[in-house]
Amino acid sequence: MNKLIIIGNLTRDPETRTTSSGISVCDFTVAVNRRTSRANAGGQPEADFFRVSAWRQLGENCQRFLAKGRKVCVTGPVTARTYQANDGTTRVSLEVTADDVEFLSSRNDDAQAGGYTAPAPTAPAPMAQNSGFTAVETDDLPF
C-alpha cells in the first residue's frame, strides 16, 4: 500500500490548469517541517517539500480556498521522480496525487502568518472558596 499523510504549509499559491480532455488539475507545494531540535544556520527548521496534484473538484476547491502559507493535510500516494537540475546534478522530487486535502487554516487567517497562531496564555482563574468541591485528603482516597 502506498499512502502518505503530510501536514504542512503551502510554499506558493496554487496553480490550476486544464488537460486537453478538459479535466482540471491544481498543483501546489507543501513544506513539512522536520521534528528536530536543531535549526539550520539561517534559524529555519529543516523541511521536506512535496509537490501535490489535486484533480477535478478537489483541485477546484484547493484553487478556491488555498493560498501561500495556509496549513493543509494531504493524503494520497507518493512517487519519487528524478530530474537534472540546471547545475547538472541529479535531484529527486516527491510528488503526491491527492486523494484528500483538509484545510487546516481558516479563510480568515493571514496567509503570511503560516497558519495557526496560539492564543496568548492566560492565568487560570482562582477557584472560589465554595465552588462546589470538597477538599479531600489523599489518605482518604481508595486508590
- Give the pLDDT confidence of 42-81 residue by residue, as tens digits: 666 788 899 999 999 999 999 999 999 999 999 999 999 9
Stretch 79-91: mean pLDDT: 90
Whether residue 4 is predicted with pLDDT greater than 50 in this model: the reply is: yes
Which pLDDT value is given to residue 102?
Answer: 94
Look-up: residue for cell 496525487? 97
Which pLDDT value is given to residue 19?
Answer: 92
- pTM higher than 0.85: no
Please, which pLDDT band fits residue 115 given cuts at 50, 70 and 90? Answer: very low
> Domains (ranges, CATH) in the chain?
4-115 (2.40.50.140)
Calpha distance 72→7 (Å, rounded): 6
Helices first, then strands: H and E counts in the chain: 1, 8
Whether residue 6 is predicted with pLDDT greater than 90 in this model: the reply is: yes
Calpha distance 73→93 (Å, rounded): 19
